[in-house]
């Protein structure tokens, strides 16, 4: 039987509503886990146990997330905690209001466990967070603290954000489930937005069911789709960065595809059309050029407090002709128009979550090469744990769906997760 701190949100709610688990006992188990492991994991940018206890005492168990702790990535505002965006420029900053997503979580009864470490402005320079599976390795980024905190048992749910691969990749590296919904499904008011056309708020959890629970509570939409009554038709896509896949990832995709076929699924290799490949190549222009626009004040008023790598990328972005952004955005639009025909006849896409296991060291959070295409397409995508690699670190596989079909993407991810468990 799992320890209380390791319960899924769904199971914890079931026990609390049945009267077999006191909300205070759950929170105390999580606080004890934080006290024991946080000195090494370093998932939090801000955490106040007394504040958590007060919030838990006010939680109403009858609400959709009543008494469930949630980590909030520190690019998402909280009215009662600092929001510092992973940058010394904003140390001590206290917003007046919660971000829309945080307000929705609190209204659903969730208890904010604290602010989780992000890379600098959710872009480049990493924070101090380590991978709970092996502290010598990165947890991924930019949603570093959220992924690590879920994996370590600090909270069962967490907010992340994704511009390239910042929900899916760290979730995969830490062995948890990550869900990047359709673009705009969770409102970004109160988020420190970097890329106007890419940034998406998502969630991390210990199960696909928990992601559906959280998204349903946050949006008021039905996200717990019934278990499919048939096996899926999956398009197997390893591009557009197949050459970046580590041997363990190539072997993983072959193994998972064969396992799913034995379970009744059809898994068919699909080649990406030129429009999607061109959009993939344009991603860096949109991400960096829009980020340079977003950081106009910081670059002007606090340049010396930005990391060298961020300054370098922003200078590169500002040196591009403005028309280059127009061309890149047009490539995105063309890819979104071409995508439905690419996966016509399929229920979802099966693709890698990351190039391989989490890289060693904390100076780099890993390559988003297997995520940026799905982000720019604005489609929902889910990573589910899929065993471990040669160094004992987690691997994941990613399920991508169609814009607006978030419940369906979660349902097929649950099917895949159960088949490969």
Catalytic residue among 143, 166, 182, 353: 166
In a domain, 396, yes or no: no
Contact 358, 137 (CB under 8 A): yes
d(CA 137, CA 393): 9
Residue 153 gets the label, from left (phi > 0), alpha (psi -120 to 50) or beta, of left
HSE-up (13 A, CA, CB side) for residue 97: 8
Instruction: Give the number of C-alpha atoms closer than 13 A to the C-alpha of residue 78, restricted to the C-beta side.
Output: 27
Catalytic residue among 73, 115, 180, 192: 73
Query: Could you give the 3-state DSSP secondary structure of residue 410?
Result: helix
Assess if residue 276 is contained within a domain. Answer: no
Task: Give the pLDDT confidence score for residue 229 in this predicted structure.
Answer: 86
CB 335 within 8 A of CB 275: yes
192 is an active site residue: no
Active-site choice (83, 87, 142, 143): 142
| Domain membership flag for residue 164 | yes
- Residues 308 and 268: their CA atoms lie apart, in Å, by 44
Which pTM value belongs to this model? Answer: 0.98
| 62 in catalytic set | no
Q: What share of the chain is helix, strand, coil (3-state, %, to 5)?
A: 45, 15, 40
What single DSSP character describes residue 131?
B
> For the segment 238-271, what is each residue's pLDDT rounded down to a tens digit?
999 999 999 999 999 999 999 999 999 999 999 9
Residue-wise pLDDT for 191-247, tens only, equals: 999 999 999 999 999 999 999 999 999 999 999 866 788 999 999 999 999 999 999
The residue segments making up the domain with residue 111 are: 4-219
In a domain, 400, yes or no: no
> Can you give the pLDDT at residue 224?
80
Question: What secondary structure letter does DSSP report for 38?
Answer: H
Question: Is residue 327 within a helix (H) or strand (E), and if so which, with residue range?
Answer: helix 322-342
What's the number of domains the chain is made of?
A: 1
Residue 85 lies in a domain: yes
Burial class (CB in 10 A: 0-12, 13-18, 19+), 169: buried
DSSP designation for 154: S
Q: Are 198 and 376 in contact (CB under 8 A)?
A: yes
Q: Position of tokens 């589910």?
A: 384
Provide the β-strand partners of residue 236: 269, 350
CB under 8 Å to 8, separation ≥6 — which residues? 156, 205, 206, 207, 209, 210
Query: Is 299 inside a domain boundary?
Result: no
Q: What angle do CA 380, 382, 384 make, to 5 degrees?
A: 170
User: Is 360 in contact with 345 (CB distance < 8 Å)?
Assistant: no
Three-class SS state of 76: strand
**pLDDT of the residue at 61:** 84
Q: How far apart are CA 297 and CA 287, in angstroms?
A: 17
Compute CA distances 64 → 212, 225, 253, whole Å: 12, 16, 36
Q: How far, in Å, CA of 188 to CA of 332, rounded?
A: 21
Q: How far apart are CA 291 and CA 276, in angstroms?
A: 22
* Stated length of the chain: 421
3-class secondary-structure state, position 72: strand
83 is catalytic: no
The CATH number of the domain where 211 resides is what? 3.90.1300.10
Q: Domain for residue 36, yes or no?
A: yes
Question: Is 245 part of a structural domain of the chain?
Answer: no
Sign of torsion, CA 164 300 84 219? negative
Two tokens, residue 328: 């890149």
Residue ranges, the chain, pLDDT below 70: 1, 225-226
User: In this structure, is the dihedral angle defined by the CA atoms of residues 15, 18, 22 and 27, taken in order, positive or negative?
Assistant: positive
**What is the reported pLDDT for 124?**
86
Please report, to the nearest 10 degrees, the dihedral formed by the alpha carbons of residues 117, 414, 411, 221 taken in order: -40
């Amino acid at each position: 039987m799992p320890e209380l701190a390791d319960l899924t949100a769904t199971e914890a709610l079931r026990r609390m509503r049945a009267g077999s688990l006191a909300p205070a006992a759950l929170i105390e188990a999580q606080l004890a886990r934080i006290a024991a492991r946080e000195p090494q994991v370093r998932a939090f940018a801000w955490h106040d146990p007394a504040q958590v206890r007060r919030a838990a005492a006010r939680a109403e168990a009858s609400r959709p997330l009543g008494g469930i702790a949630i980590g909030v990535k520190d690019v998402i505002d909280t009215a009662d905690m600092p929001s510092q965006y992973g940058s010394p420029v904003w140390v001590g900053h206290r917003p007046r209001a919660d971000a829309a997503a945080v307000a929705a979580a609190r209204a659903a009864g969730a208890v904010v466990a604290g602010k989780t470490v992000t890379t600098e402005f959710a872009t480049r320079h990493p924070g101090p967070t380590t991978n709970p599976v092996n502290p010598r390795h990165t947890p991924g980024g930019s949603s570093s603290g959220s992924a690590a905190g879920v994996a370590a048992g600090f909270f069962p749910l967490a907010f992340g954000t994704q511009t390239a691969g910042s929900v899916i990749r760290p979730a995969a590296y830490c062995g948890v489930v990550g869900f990047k919904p359709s673009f705009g499904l969770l409102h970004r008011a109160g988020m420190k937005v970097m890329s106007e056309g890419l940034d998406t708020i998502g969630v991390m959890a210990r199960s696909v069911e928990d992601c559906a629970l959280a998204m349903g509570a946050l949006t008021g939409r039905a996200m717990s789709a019934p278990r499919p009554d048939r096996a899926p038709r999956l398009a197997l896509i390893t591009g557009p960065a197949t050459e970046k896949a580590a041997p363990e990832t190539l072997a993983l995709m072959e193994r998972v595809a064969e396992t799913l076929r034995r379970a009744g699924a059809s898994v068919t290799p699909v080649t990406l059309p030129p429009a999607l490949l061109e959009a993939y190549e344009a991603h860096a222009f949109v991400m960096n050029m829009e980020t340079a626009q977003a950081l106009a004040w910081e670059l002007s008023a606090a340049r010396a407090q930005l990391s060298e790598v961020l300054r370098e990328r922003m200078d590169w972005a500002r040196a591009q002709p403005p028309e280059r952004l127009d061309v890149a955005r047009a490539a995105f639009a063309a890819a979104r128009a071409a995508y439905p025909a690419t996966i016509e006849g399929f229920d979802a896409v099966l693709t890698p979550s990351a190039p391989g296991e989490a890289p060693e060291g904390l100076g780099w959070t890993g390559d988003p090469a297997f995520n940026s295409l799905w982000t720019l397409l604005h489609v929902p995508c889910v990573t589910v744990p899929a065993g471990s690699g040669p160094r004992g670190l987690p691997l994941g596989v990613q399920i991508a769906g169609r814009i607006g079909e978030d419940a369906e993407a979660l349902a097929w991810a649950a099917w895949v997760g159960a088949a490969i468990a």
